[in-house]
């Protein structure tokens, strides 16, 4: 039994079957990549996992509990954090505050009336946040206005916001898109280290095959809303159906 079990999930948008009968299982402590051409339904699948969308059919079990019908904040509190395809950060706040917010969410739960406590007294959380900023090479940017940063920095910030929560499952939607080569390599190293040292399970959507093959232990190939195959990276490399799906895309 994997930590995440998706069974028979289907989702329609009007006449379009964005997902149909998707079944996959993510093993605890593994990195599981989901690949497939644009429009295959990868982001839609993640949306069904975090409560942004409710699937029409099927079930999604996390850590032995169903996530269906739960609110996004409840699902996060169960231990799932998500990095979005377009960075979702608190643009009006500083980089440090962006990291502090998930820290508070992790420590204090979905709501706490800490109106007369002082931000500057939270030494422990501030230290933890500064630490994670060092991990993503952003320590020098902690007082910056988050909205004024480059897209690559926003991505790394969002990743740090998820990592600081020590999630049981980290969902990443194209985390290296728009990053320079060097940053991509740093991100690979960071994710690898997090997976190995902190044992965080990851499901990652990625177009960059270099990233996929550097990180993933299992790969699911999605095409037109259905899984084509699920296998190890080595087997996927030689799979004819996968070649076809990707060739199909490159001809467009």
Partner 1 sequence: MLGLNAKDAGLFLLVTIMVILAPLILNPFPEGSELAQFNAGYPDLMQRFVIFGIFAIGFNILFGLTGYLSFGHAAFLGVGSYAAIWMMKLLTLNVIPAIIMAVIFAGLFALLVGFVSLRRSGIYFSILTLAFAQMSYALAYSVLTPLTGGETGLQIKSTDSPLLSNLANGEIGRANLFGLEMGSSFEWGVGNWLFTFNAGYYIAGIVMLMAFYMSIRIFRSPFGMMLRAVKSNQQRMNYTGLNSKPYTLAAFVISGMYAGLAGGLLVAMDTQVGPERMFWTASGEVVLMSILGGVGTLIGPVLGAGMIKYMENIISKINDNILHQWFAFLPDGMEDFVVFLIHPFIGKGWHLTLGLVFMAVVIFLPGGLVEGGQRIGRLFRRKKRDGAVGDAAKTPAE
Ligand X SMILES: Nc1ncnc2c1ncn2[C@@H]1O[C@H](COP(=O)(O)OP(=O)(O)O)[C@@H](O)[C@H]1O
Contacts to ligand X from residues 53-92, by CB under 6 A: none
Angle at 159 between CA 99 and CA 146, to 5 degrees: 50
The total number of residues written for the chain in this structure: 252
Q: For residues 193 and 65, what is the distance between their CA atoms, to the nearest angstrom?
A: 28
Report the first-to-last Cα separation within the chain, whole angstroms.
38
Using CB under 6 A as the binding rule, whether residue 18 contacts ligand X is answered as yes
41: contact with ligand X by CB under 6 A: yes
> Which residues fall within 8 angstroms of residue 101, CB to CB, at 6 or more apart?
90, 93, 161
For the CB of residue 156, give the shortest distance to partner 1 in the complex, in Å.
Answer: 15
* Stretch of 38-46, 63-71, 158-166, 233-241 lying at the interface with ligand X (CB under 6 A): 38-46
Which partner in ligand X, partner 1, Mg ion, none is near 89 (CB below 5 to 8 A by kind)?
Answer: partner 1
In the complex, the smallest distance separating the C-beta of residue 226 from ligand X, rounded to whole angstroms, is 12
CB 102 within 8 A of CB 95: no
Residue whose CB is less far from ligand X, 10 or 39 = 39
- Rounded to the nearest whole angstrom, what is the least distance from the CB of residue 239 to partner 1 in the complex? 34
Q: At CA 211, angle to CA 208 and CA 217, rounded to 5?
A: 125
CB of residue 42 to ligand X, shortest distance in Å:
3
Q: Which does 39 bind (CB under 5 to 8 A by kind): partner 1, ligand X, Mg ion, none?
A: ligand X
Q: Does 43 bind ligand X (CB under 6 A)?
A: yes
Q: How far apart are CA 232 and CA 11, in angstroms?
A: 27
Q: Which does 97 bind (CB under 5 to 8 A by kind): ligand X, Mg ion, partner 1, none?
A: partner 1
Q: Does 39 bind ligand X (CB under 6 A)?
A: yes
Residue 105: contacted member of ligand X, partner 1, Mg ion, none (CB under 5 to 8 Å, by partner type): partner 1
The DSSP secondary structure of 226-251, one letter per residue, reads EEEEEE-HHHHHT-HHHHHHHHHHHH
What long-range pairs does 51-54 form, CB within 8 A, spacing at least 24?
A: 51/75, 53/11
Is residue 176 near ligand X by the rule CB under 6 A?
A: no
Given 3-state DSSP classes, what are the helix, strand and coil percentages for the chain, each rounded to the nearest 5?
A: 40, 25, 35
Q: Interface with ligand X by CB under 6 A: which range of 12-20, 95-103, 127-135, 184-192?
A: 12-20
List phi, psi (to 5°) of 219. Answer: -130, 135
Binding mask 23-52 for Mg ion (x = CB under 5 A): --------------------x---------
Residues that bind ligand X (CB under 6 A): 13, 16, 18, 36, 38-44
Residues that bind Mg ion (CB under 5 A): 43, 85
């Amino acid at each position: 039994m994997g930590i995440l079990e998706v069974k028979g999930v289907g989702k329609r948008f009007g006449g379009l079957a964005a997902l149909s009968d998707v079944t996959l299982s993510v093993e605890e402590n593994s990195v599981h990549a989901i690949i497939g051409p644009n429009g295959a339904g990868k982001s839609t699948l993640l949306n069904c996992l975090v409560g942004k969308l409710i699937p029409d059919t099927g079930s999604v079990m996390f850590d032995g509990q169903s996530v269906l019908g739960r609110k996004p904040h409840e699902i996060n509190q169960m231990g799932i954090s998500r990095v979005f395809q377009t960075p979702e950060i608190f643009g009006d706040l500083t980089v440090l505050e962006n990291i502090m917010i998930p820290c508070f969410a992790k420590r204090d739960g979905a709501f706490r009336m800490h109106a007369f406590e002082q931000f500057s007294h939270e030494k422990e959380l501030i230290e933890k946040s500064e630490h994670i900023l060092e991990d993503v090479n952003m320590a020098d940017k902690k007082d910056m206005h988050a909205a004024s940063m480059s897209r690559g920095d926003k991505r790394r910030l969002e990743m740090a916001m998820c990592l600081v929560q020590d999630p049981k499952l980290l969902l990443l939607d194209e985390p290296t898109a728009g990053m320079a080569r060097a940053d991509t390599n740093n991100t690979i190293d960071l994710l690898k280290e997090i997976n190995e040292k902190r044992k965080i399970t990851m499901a990652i959507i990625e177009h960059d095959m270099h990233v996929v093959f550097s990180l993933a232990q299992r790969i699911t190939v999605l095409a037109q809303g259905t899984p084509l195959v699920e296998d190890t990276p080595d087997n996927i490399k030689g799979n004819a159906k996968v070649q076809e799906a990707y060739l199909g895309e490159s001809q467009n």
